[in-house]
Amino acid sequence: MKTFKLFITGILLVVFISGISAQNNAVAQTTPKSKTETFKVYGACGMCKTRIEKTVKAEGATTADWDAKTQMLTVAFDPSKTNKDALSKKLASVGHDTENYKAPDDVYAKLPGCCHYERAK
Ligand SMILES: [Cu+2]
Q: Do 34 and 62 touch, CB atoms closer than 8 A?
A: yes
C-alpha 117 to ligand 1 mean position (Å): 8
Distance 77 CA to ligand 1 centre (A): 24
Mean pLDDT of the chain: 87
Expressed in angstroms and rounded, the spacing between residue 74 Cα and the centre of ligand 1 is: 18
CA distance 32 to 77: 10
Interval between CA 28 and ligand 1 midpoint (Å): 40
Q: What is the pTM of this model?
A: 0.74
Task: Return the domain boundaries, the chain.
Answer: 1-31, 35-115
Dist. CA 100 → ligand 1 center (Å): 20
Percentage above 90 pLDDT, the chain: 71
43 touches 49 (CB < 8 A):
yes
Write the pLDDT tens digit of every residue in 5-53: 665 565 555 555 566 566 665 555 566 689 999 999 999 999 999 999 9
Top-tier CATH class for 35-115: alpha beta
